Structure 1
Amino acid sequence: MSTGMPSSDTSSVSRETPRKGGLVLLSVLSLIAFAILLALGTWQVQRLKWKLDLIERVEARGDAAPVAMPGPAAWPDLTDEEWDYRPIEVSGRFLLGEVYYFISLSDPRGDVGGPGYFVYQPFETEDGLVVMVNRGFVPDTRRLPETRPGSEADEGRTTIVGLWRRNEHGNFLTLAPDLGKRIWFVRDAREMAAELGQRGDNVAPFTLDLTASFTPAGGLPQAGETIITFTNNHLQYVVTWYGLAAVLVVVYVVYVRRHLGRSHEDGAAGTD
């Protein structure tokens, strides 16, 4: 005779059905998250290889024979990856005027380091182009030309060799240039040139860093102080993304084991 009360088997099934549904949903979401983490880790592996290859090319590029400076027709297609730190040889003459790029030279190749400035001066090529040239480093107390006698650039026609340097782009934290003192905090070739009256399509959108042999006899500006640095956090990101994927697997396995354990206990209780 029926008592009208649900059997223990029916109660167990009713509890088990939502649990199974929740486990399926969790499994799907976990699989999606695992695939995303693996994809991010693999992408960083590829980026790491690219960055290491780039560093190797740049280190070899600095010792390569200098090439002629590309002209305006080629400027739109120049890429940082292909040209940054490439030695360039160009003939012409220095124009009057200086602007300054603030830098703290912590590991100088020459005798002078610490807080100071890279001195930029416009250089007019024989073809009538203008390129801003980093003549080298001066300490902060000797920024102005009158504090460093004998630091003037060679007058008349000369041939220089410098490393091609890309423009820099600031962000909302970047200080605006101090135009009164002609001090910049990011390297912008055409803005620097414009401050010295050099404007137009003939102004190069890159700069050149003179090599060490162009340091004047007086020692300043101290040329050859190009800072070759690359941010390379890709290995850290690889470990992070793959590590999170591994943690996700562990957490998922622990959860499933506990879930199956509870299901087994409920099943056993339902048979009592």
Structure 2
Amino acid sequence: MALGTWQVHRMHWKHALIARVDGFQHAPPTPAPGADAWSGLRGELDEYRRVALQGVLLNHEILVQANTRLGAGFWVMTPLRRDDGSIVFINRGFVDAEHRDPGRRGETPPAGPIRIEGLLRLSQPGGGFLRSNAPAEGRWYSRDVAAMAQFLGLQPVAPYFVDQSANGAAGIHAPAPRRWPVPGLTVVHFRDAHLSYALTWYALAAMTAAAMVYGARQEWRRRAKGAI
């Protein structure tokens, strides 16, 4: 019964989360948090918020393994230096194995100031499931912004990155759109099976109670026959 009730509470929490993120998706972008707000960022309040920021993309990138609707490949993580000198990593989008070399992607990123719109995502430290990031070997399984900044020798770095939206990059001189990387592939989906879990736990509790009642009745009958 306790586990079923816990799942009900989780269901209400999940529904509130879904409603909050859905509201983010339909709201205009807000300025990306500056250094004075970094310590107050919380996943339940800020993850997937639409943000906008401006700066210069640096001539560095880190490829993080990814699986998208386009298949297996890599996220292209590029540091952007803002006017105040802080660094925010931008997930510029997806490339497949054929286009992991920047020279094979066609148009290069804008060299001057650029405005980015996208979804705020908190850092993903450590690595992937059963796989740790190995920076020295060029193997990245999670978007750990602190580790990426340390590897590239960049500071100060925001504790979040921005998943660039499909139409979320505009240079001051409005460069033509590029094909690779492919932005806008972030999947915003939350599994919501808490009601079925709650019903399962409640059913198990009811079955256990019924079995106890049945066992108690059988024991009472056995003792009653023995007394006769």
Asked if these proteins are the same fold (TM beyond 0.5), I'd say: yes
Deviations along 1:168-193, whole A, 9 cap, x unmatched? 24479432224356341112112112
Structure-1 residue corresponding to 2:44: 81
Question: Using the alignment, how far apart are the partners of 1:54 and 1:264 within structure 2?
Answer: 57
Question: Using the alignment, how far apart are the partners of 1:98 and 1:170 within structure 2?
Answer: 19
Question: Using the alignment, how far apart are the partners of 1:55 and 1:171 within structure 2?
Answer: 26
Task: Tell me if the contact between 1:174 and 1:185 (Cα under 8 Å) persists in the aligned partners.
Answer: no
Equivalence map 1:142-153=2 (5 Å) = 142-150=99-107, 152-153=108-109
Structure-1 residue corresponding to 2:71: 114
* 1:125 equivalenced with 2:85 (yes/no): no
Question: Using the alignment, how far apart are the partners of 1:198 and 1:171 within structure 2?
Answer: 20
Structure number having the greater strand percentage: 2
Instruction: Count how many residue pairs are aligned between Structure 1 and Structure 2.
Output: 222
- Structure 2's unaligned 5+ residue stretches are 170-175
Letter in 1 for 2:202: Y
* 1:42 equivalenced with 2:42 (yes/no): no
More displaced stretch, 45-54 vs 225-234: 225-234
2:66 to 96, 103, 111: 103
More displaced stretch, 75-84 vs 65-74: 65-74
The CA RMSD over aligned residues, in Å, is 1.9
Task: Tell me if the contact between 2:62 and 2:148 (Cα under 8 Å) persists in the aligned partners.
Answer: yes
Task: Tell me if the contact between 2:118 and 2:168 (Cα under 8 Å) persists in the aligned partners.
Answer: no
Relative to structure 1, is the Cα distance of residues 142 and 45 closer, same or farther in structure 2, using a 3 angstrom cutoff?
A: same
Question: Using the alignment, how far apart are the partners of 2:162 and 2:34 within structure 1?
Answer: 14
In our comparison, the structure showing a higher alpha carbon Rg is: 1
How much does 1:251 deviate?
A: 0.6
Structure-1 residue corresponding to 2:172: none
Structure-1 residue corresponding to 2:211: 251
Aligned with 2:4: secondary structure? Answer: helix
Structure number having the greater helix percentage: 1
Structure-1 residue corresponding to 2:114: 158
* 1:63 equivalenced with 2:26 (yes/no): yes
Question: Using the alignment, how far apart are the partners of 2:62 and 2:167 within structure 1?
Answer: 21
TM-score norm. by structure 1 comes to 0.76
1:208 to 153, 162, 167: 162
Task: Tell me if the contact between 1:92 and 1:158 (Cα under 8 Å) persists in the aligned partners.
Answer: yes
Give identity over the alignment, percent. 34
Question: Using the alignment, how far apart are the partners of 1:172 and 1:218 within structure 2?
Answer: 29
Aligned with 2:167: secondary structure? Answer: helix
